[in-house]
Amino acid sequence: MTTMTETARFREFKMPDVGEGLTEAEILKWYVQPGDTVTDGQVVCEVETAKAAVELPIPFDGVVHELRFPEGTTVDVGQVIIAVDVVPGGGEAAAEPVVPAAAEPEPAAEPEAPKGRQPVLVGYGVAESSTKRRARKGTEPPAAAAAAIQGELNGHTTVAADVPAPATTVVPESHPLAKPPVRKLAKDLGIDLATVTPTGPGGIITREDVHAAAAPVPAPASAPTAPAAVAEAVAVPVAAAPVPGARETRIPVKGVRKAIAQAMVGSAFTAPHVTEFVTVDVTRMMKLVAELKEDKDMAGVRVNPLLIIAKALLVAIRRNPEVNAAWDEANQEIVQKHYVNLGIAAATPRGLIVPNIKDAHDKTLPQLAAALGELVTTAREGKTSPAAMAGGTVTITNVGVFGVDTGTPILNPGESAILAVGAIKLQPWVHKGKVKPRQVTTLALSFDHRLVDGELGSRVLADVAAILEQPKRLITWA
């Protein structure tokens, strides 16, 4: 009979890269404490990255031994954040569980990592044994599977895995390697990662691999995983309660606010912005919205002016596809997108984010309405995942909800156009030769003048306005 050494009893879970390229994340909340029992796939903490707040599940069973960082700490990707006793009660008594604190007089000694322990996508792989043992007859010893990290809408995938038996050394078996957003995408599409052929470096499964496994015919190329698109900085992060008598309050720049600042500075000083405006009578559009709310085919989905505006922009892009493109500075190329991932700017407690509706150009009006409703609800609840904010091609920002007439929106990095929609107000308007009260709004289209000429930008904006003024063009122009 064999027993694990004290160091082999503990497994460490590192801060993963939950956003594909992020370097750090802030621990917002711990859901477990030292001494708590955890199971494979159980969420142990919530972290905020530069893109979103996500929950992290632990990839193995055991008892929490130590939390390495307290809440509110910004941790680099790759740093150990929690240690778990995977063989509780085995061997000699373990050191007392340690709770992270600002100043500990006698912090518990951290277990030394055994030789041959190699890092994987999340945490560490299984420790190698220092002695050779004959395999037991019968069933092969199970291997711990890689973690399935939180993804779309703050759900998380759990991959079936057995815990290493305490009396034997575990021999690692092959398991699919994929980053957290890719794992969640596979879950949403009902794809078993074990059946996917990886094409990424080191045998890592990519987003494209999952899409290829989900469809018999390869789907249109996914947008490159660029930094999450963010719109102009409108929302302000909640500040800490001011000290009585203090004349100033300093707020650390991190998380979503830091990402917004970097993206906006990069966009404003890289892409030459041009903004055009048009004021349009949307009375007929508002009547259509009222009629659609009573339509049985739209039952169960939210119908509002934003839905018709989004559809109008998609039609305008179909008529002027050159606007749906991106500038590739490194290769000196203009990348034409043959799909539309429609971004919708949403104000959240953590700042302004822009999740996007994937392949919005292929959706019917009821499907688009359902996608808009889910997108906005998820964003307001603070559950938007990094994957939902990646790959946008064009954006709508509805500043009208704040009573603002219009604005000059800043482009999201990697996109060439953004449409701002102002407040819809009852105003005097010349209609059929007479001044009448009509529903009027102002639209503003900002575009990247490197690849969108004034003529093209004007045609797109004019088409959107024409559709909102005469919604029947949604049919005649479709």
Q: Which residues are catalytic?
A: 449
Residue type, 190: G
Give the separation between CA 383 and CA 391, rounded to whole angstroms.
Answer: 18
What does 29-78 look like in DSSP terms, one character per residue?
EES--TT-EE-TT-EEEEEE-SS-EEEEE-SS-EEEEEE-S-TT-EEETT
Q: What is the DSSP letter of 206?
A: P
Backbone φ and ψ of 292, nearest 5°: -65, -30
How many C-beta atoms surround the C-beta of residue 139 within 10 A?
6
Would you say 56 and 16 are in contact if contact means Cβ atoms under 8 Å apart? Answer: yes
The residues that bridge with 428 in the sheet, in sequence order, are 437
Q: Which residue, 97, 72, 93, is CA-closest to 83?
A: 97
Give the separation between CA 37 and CA 34, rounded to whole angstroms.
Answer: 9
Which helix or strand (DSSP H or E) is residue 419 part of? strand 417-421
Q: What is the DSSP letter of 322?
A: G
